[in-house]
Chain A
Amino acid sequence: MAKLIPTELPSNWKDNATQIANRIRLRVLEHVLTNNGGYMSQACSSGELFAALYTRILNLAPSQAPMVPAPFKGVPANDNPAYTTGGIYNGPQTAETDRFIFSPAHYALVLYTTLIEVGRMSPEGLKQFNQDGSSVEMIGAEHSPGCEVTNGSLGQSISQAVGIALGRRLKGETGRVIVMMSDGEFNEGQTWEAIASMSHYKLDHMLVYVDVNGQCVDGKLNETMNIEPLQSRLEAFGARVFSVNAHDLNALVEPSELTPDGRPTFVLSYSNPTQGLPLLQKRAPKLHYLRFKDEAERESYRAVYQSMLAEMPAAS
């Protein structure tokens, strides 16, 4: 199978981000084909969001972490001074830079792929995905590249981000705390506790992007447990909320450039879970994890991969 080769990126941010979004999907599909499984629909739904975050929205310093992640250094403990979080892939923390809190750990494959496409991790790093002894874990934890907190149990990151935001305010730091969440997390009661506290403490330096793909493990989120109308629910909690098309880069970026007004900002990024890969629609409504039923199905995805690859500018 042909492999992706990093190419020169266009100078225009939007063209650049569009290409990164497509390359995220392509690389995730490549990974799924190679490993006979993976979180494909998450890449389809959030490709533009991750591309926009890492190329335009987040103010991050360059990564100083190794391009190929080091083997897992052991769990945090008093006798383990070598431990660091995967936040090092988002660059050194300064008072001015943003903090990116990646919440839905099941999107880890999308995050790792994004790090590759924006030059913060080597494609070699993805070979460690779900390999024994690696930090590039299937369901990312805080030691995984790009992750700063642990959130395999959904709904905890936003609260941890509340603590980080309160702490940064106490220290007089100017950088924002930007959280990426999945819509399923709005089933969790803790999420709403966190939103209440964000509003109560006027954490307007918090910006939360939600990939509203309407999917959860059981199928359609709103048939499993409805969260809509999400915008008015959030507004009732005192948040400033924007509902945007997840595949419109300008629409994703605009709310991040507004002047803070005392309210935490939520961007509901309504997405198509099969964006860029219509073939995946055949598996609806269960899109959470793609594992091929048989070789014929795998071949059908391989053919799509080849045509996507052929359409990719400057890729071989």
Chain B
Amino acid sequence: MEILSKVHATNLVKWAKDKPQVLVLSADLTSSTEIDDFQKAYPERFFSFGLAEANMMSAAGGLAREGFIPFIHTFAVFIYRRAFDQLIDSVAYPNLPVRMVGFLPGIVTPGGITHQAIEDIALLRAVPNMTIVEVADATEIESILVATENVRGPIYYRMLRGEVSRLFSQDEPFKLNTARKLSSGSDITLLSSGICTEEAMRATSILKQRGVSIQHMHISTHKPFDDPSVLQAISEAKLGVITMENHTIIGGLGSATAELIATNGLGKCLHRIGLKDTFAHGASKPYLMREYEMDALALVQTVEKIIGHDLDITEVDLQTVRLQAVHSAAKAEAL
């Protein structure tokens, strides 16, 4: 599988080239949030706000009122934990086009509790006027700015940095409020988001080999969350629905799915993989994904529970899966 580096940094510079209204705001995390290239390319459009997120958030609202599109860049936790009041009053209430690019989603960082954004989607999903998107791979990072540039109100991007896999074919860019169908099946419907999608893909190929019919949908828009194909996929699941997210199971994809099931009277049993109402702590991503049962093996174990028997899949089996960038199953079928 192709691994790319600093995808957002490169994409942002390219995308913003002919957009003088696009500004970038930093809170002393310029290289850590991959905006150093932007700063070098367009210094007059780069604003350093120092370690002061509340002021940066409200000032972004002011800039947006003047017709600019400010892109706040910091770690996700500092956006919604430090500046939630400002986010609501200065940005979300007036429905201003402020773009909040939050890094270090969930347990991807060894930075521990202070740096791990595990409840960001839960909080921001409850805020009116918000659009919430999350990337899982390089293709989504490369296409998410174009795909969301016409959104009038604020957007929260749950972003990845550094080395990022390419899971999805480059000719299938991110589309707002559109799930990717990665595999078809009728026993279980799996909805995954962010880094959990790569983990899920490791498991689904083996699960299929063992005869589990699993429909896998990748979710990259958390709000709005009303793609009819998701509803369809849930309604097709004979044995149950699984959600898998790099987030607490309260308030994120799992809860949103529960709302869909309940409000549409679908009556499916839902199994939520994610942080089970617990904080994590500082450690490596693979360690934390195993420790908190958010990895491919956790998915296999959840499937085993649903179907009622052991599938004899080991961690070694999962680790040796070779992933290739895929076209969505929906498109393959259409072809």
Give A contacts to B, CB under 8 Å. Answer: 75-78, 85, 141-142, 148-153, 155-157, 159-168, 170-171, 189-190, 193-194, 196-197, 200-201
Cβ of A76 and Cβ of B129 under 8 Å apart? yes
Cβ of B85 and Cβ of A77 under 8 Å apart? no
Cβ of B95 and Cβ of A159 under 8 Å apart? no
Give the chain B neighbours of A156 by CB distance below 8 A.
58, 85-86, 89-90
Cβ of B58 and Cβ of A159 under 8 Å apart? yes
In the complex, residue of chain A having the shortest beta-carbon distance to the beta carbon of B85? A153
Per-position contact with A for B67-87: 1 when CB-CB < 8 Å, else 0? Answer: 110100000000000000110
Given contacts A153-B85, A156-B89, contact A163 B65 (CB under 8 A): yes
Give the chain A neighbours of B94 by CB distance below 8 A.
76, 85, 142, 149-150
Cβ of B93 and Cβ of A190 under 8 Å apart? no
Leading 6 A-B pairs by shortest Cβ distance: A163-B62, A167-B66, A159-B58, A193-B55, A163-B59, A193-B52
Cβ of B61 and Cβ of A160 under 8 Å apart? yes
> Taking each of B56, B66, B86, B153, which has the highest tally of chain A beta carbons within 10 Å of its own beta carbon?
B66
CA distance A228 to B83 in the complex (A): 26
CA distance A149 to B65 in the complex (A): 9
Give the chain A neighbours of B129 by CB distance below 8 A.
76-78
Give the chain A neighbours of B279 by CB distance below 8 A.
none
Give the chain A neighbours of B54 by CB distance below 8 A.
155, 159, 189-190, 193
A57 to chain B minimum Cβ distance, whole angstroms, is: 21
Q: Does B267 lie at the interface of the complex (its beta carbon under 8 Å from any beta carbon of A)?
A: no
CA distance A134 to B99 in the complex (A): 31
Q: List 18 A-B contacts (CB under 8 A).
A: A77-B95, A78-B95, A78-B153, A85-B94, A150-B93, A156-B85, A156-B89, A159-B90, A160-B58, A164-B63, A166-B59, A167-B62, A167-B66, A167-B67, A167-B68, A190-B55, A194-B59, A196-B50
CA distance A165 to B61 in the complex (A): 12
Q: B62 is contacted by which of A76, A77, A166, A193 (Cβ under 8 Å)?
A: A166
Besides A159-B55, A170-B68, 18 new A-B residue pairs in contact (Cβ under 8 A), listed by A number:
A76-B129, A77-B95, A149-B61, A149-B90, A150-B90, A153-B85, A159-B58, A159-B59, A159-B62, A159-B90, A160-B58, A160-B90, A163-B60, A163-B61, A167-B67, A171-B66, A171-B67, A196-B55
Cβ of B89 and Cβ of A197 under 8 Å apart? no
Cβ of A77 and Cβ of B128 under 8 Å apart? yes
Q: Which of B98-149 contact A (CB under 8 A)?
A: 128-129
A145 to chain B minimum Cβ distance, whole angstroms, is: 16
> Taking each of A75, A76, A141, A189, which has the highest tally of chain B beta carbons within 10 Å of its own beta carbon?
A76
Q: A166 is contacted by which of B63, B85, B89 (Cβ under 8 Å)?
A: B63
Give the chain B neighbours of A151 by CB distance below 8 A.
89
Give the chain B neighbours of A142 by CB distance below 8 A.
93-94
Give the chain B neighbours of A150 by CB distance below 8 A.
89-90, 93-94
Give the chain A neighbours of B292 by CB distance below 8 A.
none
CA distance A141 to B88 in the complex (A): 13
CA distance A171 to B68 in the complex (A): 10
Give the chain A neighbours of B86 by CB distance below 8 A.
156, 159, 190
Cβ of A196 and Cβ of B52 under 8 Å apart? yes
Q: B93 is contacted by which of A75, A162, A193 (Cβ under 8 Å)?
A: A75
Cβ of A162 and Cβ of B59 under 8 Å apart? yes
Q: Does B40 lie at the interface of the complex (its beta carbon under 8 Å from any beta carbon of A)?
A: no
Give the chain B neighbours of A200 by CB distance below 8 A.
50
Give the chain A neighbours of B49 by CB distance below 8 A.
197
Q: Does B64 lie at the interface of the complex (its beta carbon under 8 Å from any beta carbon of A)?
A: yes
Cβ of B128 and Cβ of A190 under 8 Å apart? no
Give the chain B neighbours of A149 by CB distance below 8 A.
61-62, 65, 90, 94
Q: Does B290 lie at the interface of the complex (its beta carbon under 8 Å from any beta carbon of A)?
A: no
Q: Does B152 lie at the interface of the complex (its beta carbon under 8 Å from any beta carbon of A)?
A: yes
CA distance A149 to B54 in the complex (A): 16
A162 to chain B minimum Cβ distance, whole angstroms, is: 5
